[in-house]
Amino acid sequence: MTEERWPGEERLVGTRQQELEPEVPVDEAELDSGEEEAEAEPMPETEAEPMPETEAEPIPETEAELAPPEEQLGDEEASEAERDDDTPPPDEAPAEEDELPRLRAPGHAPGQLSIPDGYGVITGSSDGTRRAVGIVVSRFNGEVTNRMLESALDELELAGVARQAVTVVQVPGAFELPLGAMALAKTRRFACIVALGCVIRGETPHFDYVAGEAASGLQLAALETGIPVSFGVLTLESAGQADERVGKGAEAVRTALEMADLFSQLRANATA
Q: Within 10 Å of residue 158's Cβ, how many Cβ atoms? A: 13
Best CA proximity match to 190, nearest among 132, 257, 126: 132
Question: CA 53, CA 55: separation in Å to the nearest integer?
Answer: 6
Task: Respond yes or no: is residue 206 known to be catalytic.
Answer: yes
Task: Tell me the C-alpha to C-alpha distance, in Å, between residue 268 and each of 55, 100, 181, 226, 265.
Answer: 99, 55, 25, 15, 5
Query: Which one is catalytic: 130, 189, 206, 267?
Result: 206
Which residues, at least 6 apart from 232, have a Cβ–Cβ distance to it below 8 Å?
148, 152, 194, 195, 196, 197, 248, 249, 251, 252, 253
Strand partners, 169: 136
- Exposure string of 27-48, with b = 16+ CB inside 10 Å and e = fewer, is eeeeeeeeeeeeeeeeeeeeee
Q: Is there a contact between 133 and 267 (Cβ–Cβ < 8 Å)?
A: no
Amino acid at the residue 100 = L
Known catalytic residues are 206
